[in-house]
Amino acid sequence: MTISPFEALLSMSGEYDLFLDIKAWPKLLFENNLTPPVILADDVPIWGFSLMRQARDIGIPELPCMRISPAEKKDLLYIAIALENRAGSYSWEERKNILEFCLINNIAVDDAIIQTIEAGRFTDWQKKTEKYIGFPDSLKKLVQSRMLDIKSAEKIVSLPEPCIALVYEKKEKLTHSERRIFLEQLHEVMQRDGLAEKETSALCRTMLDAPDPVKLLEAARYPNLSSMQKEFLQHAQLLRKQGIALSAPDNFEGEAFFIRFPFVSRQNFNKKVNALQAFENHIDELFTLL
Amino acid sequence: MNYSHFYNDYIHAVYATPAAKDSLAACRVTERLPGVPFSIVASKDDIPEKHKNQKTVFLTATPGKKFGPCPGSKRHLCCNYLTINLYEGCPIGCSYCIMQAYLNFEPVTVNVDIEAITKELDEVIQSNPDTPIRIGTGETGDSLFYDPLFELSKNFIEHCAQFPNVYFEVKTKSHFVDHLLGIPNKGKAVVAFSLNPQEIIDAEEGIASSLAQRLEAADKAVKAGYLLAFHFDPIIRVKNWQEMYLNVADQLSQFEKGKIVWISLGTVRYPAQLKDRLGSRPWLYDEFVPCRDGKHRYIQRIRTEIYRSVAGWLTESTGAPLYMCMESPAVWRRVFGKISSKIDNLCAIFTKVHR
Ligand code: SF4
């Protein structure tokens, strides 16, 4: 059995239109009626919206269709999710659609439903999805486009929207993990310094306009540490010019510095020793870093 | 103390294992909190879901190690402290409490099998007759918050009093010492208070007693014949921290010299994986770096500055031996000029106990 025209179905409210158009069905399947059937219950489409939209877009006039007996909305939802069959890979926007469907229709979001969506254990599904729903649009967009994970999004939710929009706009400036660190540190600086929306947004823009936004923001988040690093680098550079490598313990956590140098002759050795002797003047300053 | 009035707010259910149900602690809780439901369960896992929280107390006498060395921290100097897990869990609710992050959904466990713990303890004491031994109950929970109700510390104080080399320490953020004052033989029992400026107590230490209450309790304890100890841990670098901690240090000068057997210092720290669970406390926005034991601490230079200042004030006001909790040899050298084992008045604290 086929349905035609399905334009009318598409223009209906589409209560069960929960999923994004993820899968592109090959035209050949449409032309030979080989796509899965659109499912209707009581003349209401339950599953197949994506198929119908694709068919419409490529000018296919009719699609296979199957009518099932009317059933409880919860069962119809199960059927839709089972046919979509992408457990574990639904986007947050789709999870949102499913949760909203459940809430509107008084369907308890139990483990059985969650398992059809998530392929395995997923703690606090409803809570997390509700959090996503509560995010401002710009943050939703960032999460939905997989540019930020939900956990990090939760942490930075109070960042002003213009900052998040800017990070989205300048997406090429940061890698995925840099973006997470950038947003978290921006949020921490905002909280620490009690910055207002305008100030935070200005800070965000300045950072993102810089050649290395992560490094610049890190210096703002860790002012002591970064000035210590700067100071250390100055000392290290003095020695590097003489072919001597100076290293400090990680994060200046420890009690010893190290120097290392190659020497190829007595003369060369003496030159390095002289350089080290000259460096002695800086030793006290160096030790203030530990 | 009006038990039912106070503890009814903090204990909504009591569960006991069959072995613990007739213990003295169980009798005390049923008698003193008649309105709180008391049930028997085979194990902690059998406590119903709705009672898996910190308002439930679980009494157990299950065998297992309840006594051992404080775990210390990798690559940091350890003070060879021995701990008894008497109360596991705590309702005080300090924002910085790592245990909170782990144990929030756990009932507070009370290990009532005093005899078994004492036996383990005796073995260690007997193999170290000439070594100063420090034993405490404050590592897995507050030593005294529930103690007026269960009165378990009394047993250890009395027992340890026989051994002149044993310091038995109870550590608390409460002021609940009254039930301990009348114990006739205290030996070298130490009543210890964790201290912080009142501003930090208000902001970070949940339902803990005020600084004034703790100091008043310390005064009562010392007058009753106890030794005292204080723990400035965690020290938090808030705005005006110098004035605040100096003020607390000054207040300790009221105690007779020699009565304070030790004071420990430790700056606030947390394991990286628990940062998220600590929420968004303002102190977390300070500069922390990962240390060699995996915990995050203030930058070494900043810690050193804090320790030097606080140690200076405390030495002036109390003259008591000071040590740092879970600190690196580098910081020890910078603060005290040497590591713990080379400092004379810390021998009693840092001598290794053979087990
Ligand atoms: S008193 Fe100690 S155990 Fe209790 S919450 Fe505070 S830090 Fe944690």
User: For the domain bounded by B63-346, which CATH number is listed?
Assistant: 3.80.30.30
Task: Give me the mean pLDDT over the A112-131 stretch.
Answer: 88
Q: Is ligand 1 within 6 A of the CB of residue B97? A: yes
B300 touches A: beta carbon within 8 Å: yes
Task: Give me the mean pLDDT over the A162-174 stretch.
Answer: 95
Q: What is the mean pLDDT of chain B?
A: 91
Sorted by where each begins, the domain ranges of chain A are 2-129, 145-221, 232-287
| pLDDT at residue B284, as a whole number | 93
Q: Between B276, B280, B301, which is nearest A290 by CB?
A: B301
With 90 as the cut, is the pLDDT of residue B277 above it? Answer: no
With 90 as the cut, is the pLDDT of residue B291 above it? Answer: yes
Tell me, in angstroms, the distance from the centre of ligand 1 to residue B19's CA: 28
B350 pLDDT band (50/70/90 cuts)? confident
Sorted by where each begins, the domain ranges of chain B are 1-59, 63-346
What is the percent of chain B with per-residue pLDDT over 90, rounded to a whole number? 73
Residues 6+ apart with CB under 8 A from A8: none
Ligand 1: which of B87, B94, B109, B207 to mutate, most ligand atoms within 8 Å of CB?
B94
| pLDDT at residue A112, as a whole number | 86
| pLDDT at residue B348, as a whole number | 64
**Interchain proximity A252–B301, CB inside 8 Å:** yes
| pLDDT at residue A275, as a whole number | 95
A253-279 pLDDT, tens digit each: 999 999 999 999 999 999 999 999 999
A49-81 pLDDT, tens digit each: 999 999 999 998 889 999 998 889 999 999 999
Ligand 1: which of B99, B103, B176 to mutate, most ligand atoms within 8 Å of CB?
B99
| pLDDT at residue A158, as a whole number | 95
| pLDDT at residue B98, as a whole number | 79
Residues in B closer than 8 angstroms to A288, CB to CB, are 301
Atom of ligand 1 nearest to the CA of B208: 1
B186-244 pLDDT, tens digit each: 999 999 999 999 999 999 999 999 999 999 999 999 999 999 999 999 999 999 999 99
Q: Using an 8 Å CB-CB cutoff, list residues of chain A that contact chain B.
A: 151, 155, 188-189, 191-192, 221-225, 228, 250-255, 288-290
User: Would the CA dihedral through B9, B15, B20, B23 be positive or negative?
Assistant: positive
With 70 as the cut, is the pLDDT of residue B75 above it? Answer: no
A193 pLDDT band (50/70/90 cuts)? very high
- Residue reference for tokens 């170290």: B128
B105 pLDDT band (50/70/90 cuts)? low
Q: Between A188, A222, A252, which is nearest B300 by CB?
A: A252
Report whether B227 contacts B190 (CB < 8 A). yes
| pLDDT at residue B275, as a whole number | 83
Phi and psi based region of residue B21 (left: phi greater than 0; alpha: psi -120 to 50; beta: remaining): alpha
Query: A14 or B80: whose pLDDT is higher?
Result: A14
With 90 as the cut, is the pLDDT of residue A286 above it? Answer: yes
**Interchain proximity A223–B330, CB inside 8 Å:** no
Ligand 1: which of B10, B88, B97 to mutate, most ligand atoms within 8 Å of CB?
B97
Query: B310 or A122: whose pLDDT is higher?
Result: B310
With 80 as the cut, is the pLDDT of residue A155 above it? Answer: yes
Residues in A closer than 8 angstroms to B276, CB to CB, are 151, 155
For residues B322 and B306, what is the distance between their CA atoms, to the nearest angstrom?
Answer: 14
Task: Give me the mean pLDDT over the B107-125 stretch.
Answer: 92
B25-39 pLDDT, tens digit each: 999 999 999 999 999
Smallest CA–CA separation between A284 and chain B, in Å? 14
Q: What is the mean pLDDT of chain A?
A: 93
| pLDDT at residue A2, as a whole number | 66
What's CA A229's distance to the chain center, in Å? 30
Amino acid at B124: V
B289 touches A: beta carbon within 8 Å: yes
B301 touches A: beta carbon within 8 Å: yes
Q: Between B276, B285, B287, which is nearest A191 by CB?
A: B285
Amino acid at B200: I
Q: Quote the strand ranges of B79-226, DSSP E.
A: 82-84, 87-88, 108-111, 133-136, 166-172, 190-194
| pLDDT at residue B309, as a whole number | 98
What is the percent of chain B with per-residue pLDDT over 70, rounded to a whole number? 93
For residues B87 and A178, what is the distance between their CA atoms, to the nearest angstrom?
Answer: 43
| pLDDT at residue B76, as a whole number | 65
Please tell me the number of Cα atoms within 13 Å of A96 on its side-chain side. Answer: 15
For residues B167 and B137, what is the distance between their CA atoms, to the nearest angstrom?
Answer: 12
A242-255 pLDDT, tens digit each: 999 999 999 999 99
Smallest CA–CA separation between B6 and chain A, in Å? 34
